[in-house]
Structures are given as C-alpha cells and as structure tokens.
Amino acid sequence: MRKIEKRIPSVSTASLPDIVFMLLFFFMTVTTIQDTEILVDNTLPQAIELTELDKKDRIIEILVGKPSAEFANLLGSEPRIQLNKKLSSIADVRPYVLSELTKKPEGIRKLVTVSLKIDENVHVGIVSDIKKELQEINVLKISYVANYGNQSSSLD
C-alpha cells in the first residue's frame, strides 16, 4: 500500500491584510484624534436623556475640574477651568470664547454650542459663573456633557 501523505493544510493568510484594513478603516471612521490634552480631572456626571452633538465644527469646549494629580502639588486642589490647552481663570472665558467664535465661518456662528465638560465633583458656583460670562457675550446654547448612566444610582 502506498503511503498516503497526510498533512494538515496550512491556513491561508492571504486575506489577513484585508481583515486588518477593515479594522483600520473602522477605527479611522469612529474615532477622532484628541487634540487637547486634559489637564483637569474630568469624571463626567451621569444622565439618561442625552442628545448627541455630532457637528464637531460648531462646538467650543470648556473643561472644568480639579487639576490632575501631576499638577496637584503645584496648583492645589481648587477646581480650574481648562480652555484649549491652558488652565485659566474665569476672566479668560469671555476672550477665549470670542476668539474661538471668530475662527468659525460666519454662517455657523449663531449655531455654536458651548459644550461644558465639567467634573461631577465640582461645585455649581463655578458653573453658574461660566454661564453668566456666556450670557454677557450672548452665546446662549450650552450643553452639559454627560455619560450615559443610571439616573438614580449616581449619588446616593
């Protein structure tokens, strides 16, 4: 009897690049490059009835929180406002928002939303200060950015 050669055929890897490319494109489309480094603690609050802000070009971001751990001994633990890449104070909010507004094309300036990414452990006082500043310059659309989560479980 002739000896039958019994070998397990190797799996073809020819389609591997295709699979990887597919993954690559998926990640390229669903993600955005994070352009600002977050310098403050930013644990967002939880809420249910959220609306998505999908038009990135009409958003001005303001972050508020305690300085992150590496700056804590330098800046203390009082909540700070982060505008673009700098930690700033309340007085800088107005010029910052105005200068960001002038960078936007004329047609969408009225549609600009200020997205407030505020740590849940910050006091409301600083938030209402920011809102007052925004009222002064007549930028009235705001969004309290939050994560999806349980309404009732968060702070009991």
Partner 1 sequence: MGRNRQVPEINSGSMADIAFLLLIFFLVATTIQNDHGLIRKLPPKPDRTIIDIHERNVFRIILNKENQLMVEGELIEFKDLGKEVISFLDNGGEVGKCEYCLGAKSKDKSDSPLEAVISFQSDRKALYGTYVRVQDVLTTAYISLRNRESKRLFGTDFKSMEEAYLKPETNGELKETLKKRIKTIREMYPMKISESELIFKS
User: Which residues contact partner 1 by CB under 8 A?
Assistant: 13, 16-17, 20-21, 23-24, 27-28, 30-34, 44-54, 56, 59, 113, 115-116, 118-125, 127-128, 131, 134-136, 138, 140-148, 151-152, 154-156
Measured CA distances, 141 to 75, 91, 102 (Å): 31, 20, 16
Cβ burial, residue 92 (10 Å; 0-12/13-18/19+):
middle
Instruction: Kindly state the smallest distance separating residue 67's Cβ from partner 1, in Å.
Output: 16
Q: How far, in Å, CA of 90 to CA of 79, rounded?
A: 11
What is the distance, to the nearest Å, from the Cα of residue 57 to the centroid of all Cα atoms in its chain? 14
Instruction: Kindly state the smallest distance separating residue 92's Cβ from partner 1, in Å.
Output: 19
Instruction: Kindly state the smallest distance separating residue 86's Cβ from partner 1, in Å.
Output: 20
Q: Of 129, 38, 119, which is closest to residue 83 (Cα–Cα)?
A: 38
Those residues whose C-beta lies under 8 Å from the C-beta of residue 58, and which sit 6 or more positions away, are 104, 108, 111, 112, 113
The dihedral formed by the CA atoms of 99, 92, 139 and 61, expressed in degrees to the nearest 10: 80
Residue nearer to partner 1 on the CB measure, 109 or 141: 141
Residue nearer to partner 1 on the CB measure, 3 or 16: 16
Instruction: Kindly state the smallest distance separating residue 71's Cβ from partner 1, in Å.
Output: 20
Residue nearer to partner 1 on the CB measure, 1 or 155: 155
Instruction: Kindly state the smallest distance separating residue 4's Cβ from partner 1, in Å.
Output: 31
Residue nearer to partner 1 on the CB measure, 47 or 87: 47
Residue nearer to partner 1 on the CB measure, 51 or 73: 51
